[in-house]
Structure 1
Amino acid sequence: MKNRTLIFGLLILLMASCKKQQEPTIENINTIFQTKDFNIEFRMDEDHTYRLGFREGYVSFFSNAKTQRNVISYDEAIATNALIQNQFNQRTQDENDPEIAIYDDFNEVSFRASGFENELYNLLKELNLEYVPIKKK
């Protein structure tokens, strides 16, 4: 049984390491969204990342402080898509700006954007998920 677990773990690690970085285009983002099993990471800085995981009609929210899970409606999925599209349209090239990464098991699209913390807060409120703000040093 331990050997199966080890082999399964190595297979998952291998699959994750084979993730292909795609060009940041709406088409590539939508291709990932269509899998209905994907994650969106908001990489605020080296120490603070928020992640929304979508799978089988559920959304999970992972922050440095807690993990939450809720059922997601069609309208909430559309609101999530709107946030990503809005930020994509305002993306920057500044390496100091937070990064947004959308990925599934095989593909990842990432881009930089700034000033989306309020939009993220409003989306989480709509999704009935508690936003845990980053504590400034």
Structure 2
Amino acid sequence: MKKIILLLSLIILVSCAQEVDPTVNNMNDIFDSKDFTIEFVLDDSRTESMSFIEDIIVYKTAKETKRSTITFDEALLINDFIQSQFKLHDASNSEIPSIIILNTAKKVTLKIPKYEAAYSNLITKLEL
């Protein structure tokens, strides 16, 4: 039941968000909401996500869903990862792979090629 509610929430979240330019201000607006999702579009058939609500993280892959409390250090790791990838965004890149950051109001797409190794390293550090 919880998975269905989470999936429905994610679908509603994606369908309602307005695509905005990938700027620091737009991304900070999303993060300030304290209720947002980061989708990692790795290839045509593989998308993973981290959803955040206050101090809870829900990590979803095709194989599993994990829910836990996020620590300050873990939040810093995720923040550092997003900042490092933001610098690599190029609007001329393909939409796949990409990192999508969204909440109910806004959606930012970072077009970043070859970020999977850095992402895998992040997942390992977070023990997800």
TM-score (norm 2): 0.82
Matched position secondary structure for 1:105: coil
CA RMSD of aligned residues (A): 2.0
2:34 maps to what in 1? 36
Contact 2:40–2:49 at 8 Å: present in 1 too?
A: yes
Runs of 5+ consecutive residues of structure 1 not aligned to the other structure = 1-8, 130-137
What whole-Å deviation, never above 9, does each CA across 1:34-66 have from its counterpart, x for those lacking one?
A: 111100001112211010111121111111111
Residues 96-115 of structure 1 correspond to what in structure 2 (within 5 A)?
97-115=96-114
Q: Is 1:77 aligned to 2:53, yes or no?
A: no
Q: Is 1:119 aligned to 2:118, yes or no?
A: yes
Matched position secondary structure for 2:33: coil
Aligned length: 118
Matched position secondary structure for 1:85: helix
Higher radius of gyration, 1 or 2? 1
Residues 81-92 of structure 1 correspond to what in structure 2 (within 5 A)?
81-92=79-90
Runs of 5+ consecutive residues of structure 2 not aligned to the other structure = 1-7
Distance in 1 between residues matched to 2:31 and 2:108, nearest whole Å: 11
**Aligned-pair identity (%):** 33
1:23 maps to what in 2? 21
Distance in 2 between residues matched to 1:42 and 1:112, nearest whole Å: 11
